[in-house]
Amino acid sequence: MPVTYLFPTSNASKELSDPDYDLLSSMIDSMDEDVDSWCTSSIACCDNCFDEYSRKWPLAYTRAHGIRYQNTPARLFYASAGRVQGTVTESEFLRLLPYIACPNCGGSLGPNLFAFELPFDPADFEADLERLAELAKTAPFLVLSDEFARRIRDEITAFCLVTEQALPTGEFFRGRDVDASSAASSDFGAPPASKTKEGRYNHAGSPVLYLADTYETCWEECRRPSDPFSIGILEFTKPVKILDLSEPDEMKGVLAPVMYSNLTAAPSEGGGWDRPEYVLTRFVADCARLAGMDGIRYRSTRTGKGTNTMLLKGEAAMDYIRVVRVEKPVAPSRA
């Protein structure tokens, strides 16, 4: 995993005396070591660019132990940073901190330190991702004309070739707008093509079946619904081939930055027809379908740790999955 090291701001050498600049350099080395020892990570961004960083890499924000949970005020950081304490006093630390550059935007580090480490160097992919995002917005049917999109297709195809058929274990969850007392197993199948709206991994008119890995994930994916609503608990009855994209930290090549980026991991907030955030995920689904996969497993954009499984052959999905029981949901505790 790449490590992002801190460095002085461009004005540090001009405004600091030679002794202070040397002290700053030693403090930076100590900060890098302390952050790495705490969470095997490094400083990712500052207060000024936190929103922009989270927008660009939404999975870094939404996932469990993501960047929103790694926010440490400067004074608290110093109080717990043994190496830094051995290098500078607290007053020296606070005085010199503005002369440390944010690794993301280059500005001065602010009063809060945000630790997170992407499993790739973002600078290697930002231009490609921004170009592809613009193409997906302006001419979505021409996505494959982009060289970066072709690299995504090739890596997905290669990933699919080494994915073996297996029987998913455990329970899966699917929510529907029906009363639990009258719900039937057929209510939890895929909708007919005529009623299938555009989704994260499906085209309009192309039925698929979305399943959550936990009760809470299902509840959040369904936008914390009101009555009438029920949750079906399902289990697989036959082995299937699932393309697992839920652990981007274990991926190489272009798939890791793609799964972290706003091309695939941005939550959908709008209810209209314009869904540019779904263009690339549907492209990924098409690649998986052509490679002979039965479905895709991916991280939920609604919860910090949940995953969803999408079955590509929606109308035939009930041939290898069955409803075990139906429950009237109780809102999960958010404590």
Rounded to an integer, the average pLDDT of 269-287 is 76
Q: Where are the domains of the chain?
A: 7-118, 128-327
What is the CB neighbour count within 10 angstroms for residue 220? 19
- Residue 190 pLDDT greater than 50, yes or no: yes
CB under 8 A, 24+ apart: contacts of 287-290: 287/152, 287/153, 287/156, 287/157, 287/160, 288/156, 288/160, 288/243, 288/312, 290/157
% the chain with pLDDT above 90 = 73
Pairwise CA distance, residues 288 & 278, whole Å = 15
Residue whose entry in the numeric block shows the structure tokens 């994916």: 221
Please say if the pLDDT value at position 39 is more than 90.
no
Confidence at residue 272, expressed as pLDDT on a 0 to 100 scale:
46
pLDDT at 166 over 90: yes
Omega of the bond leading into 2 within 30 degrees of 0 (cis): no
What residues form DSSP beta bridges with 233? 173, 325
Give the residues across from 166 on adjacent strands. 240
Average pLDDT, rounded, for the chain: 91
Question: Hey, what are 311's tokens?
Answer: 């079955």
Residues 254-278, mean pLDDT to the nearest whole number: 78
Is the pLDDT score of 265 beyond 50? yes
Closest CA to 308 of 296, 319, 316: 296
Query: What stretches of the chain show up as alpha helix (H) in DSSP?
Result: 12-15, 18-39, 50-56, 58-62, 74-80, 82-85, 90-96, 126-138, 147-161, 215-221, 255-260, 279-290
Structure tokens at 248: 């981007």
